[in-house]
Amino acid sequence: MSSGQDPVFPQYETETTQTSKLLRKFKETPFVPIGMAGFAMVVGYGLYRLKHRGDMKMSLHLIHMRVAAQGFVVGAITCGVLYSMLREYVVKPKE
């Protein structure tokens, strides 16, 4: 065995900061942060509306908010898949 440790995956271990890794991931898959932000916005709006829901039952309100949040995330994932398919198969990069 060698005295120094060799990196297992050198292409992934060259970037040491978490911010640079996060920015690289956002550039690779731009619709993931959009889905995460949309989910957070729906949850924030749901918490805001929780106070002013009127005579609506709590369980019904939570079900509506869950469906809205899941719908936004699934929509963002679908757009991301379509975007990556468009980039890979329609607009082929020059090799």
pLDDT digits (tens, 9 = 90+) for 13-38: 554 688 887 788 788 777 778 888 88
The pair of structure tokens assigned to 61 is 């309100």
Question: What is the four-CA torsion angle of 69, 71, 77, 83, rounded to 10 degrees?
Answer: -130
Q: What is the pLDDT of residue 67?
A: 92
Mean pLDDT (the chain) is 79
Contact of 32 with 25, CB cutoff 8 Å: yes
Query: Is residue 66 pLDDT above 80, yes or no?
Result: yes
More confident residue, 9 or 25: 25
What global pTM score does this model have?
0.60
Q: pLDDT category, 90, cuts 50, 70, 90?
A: confident
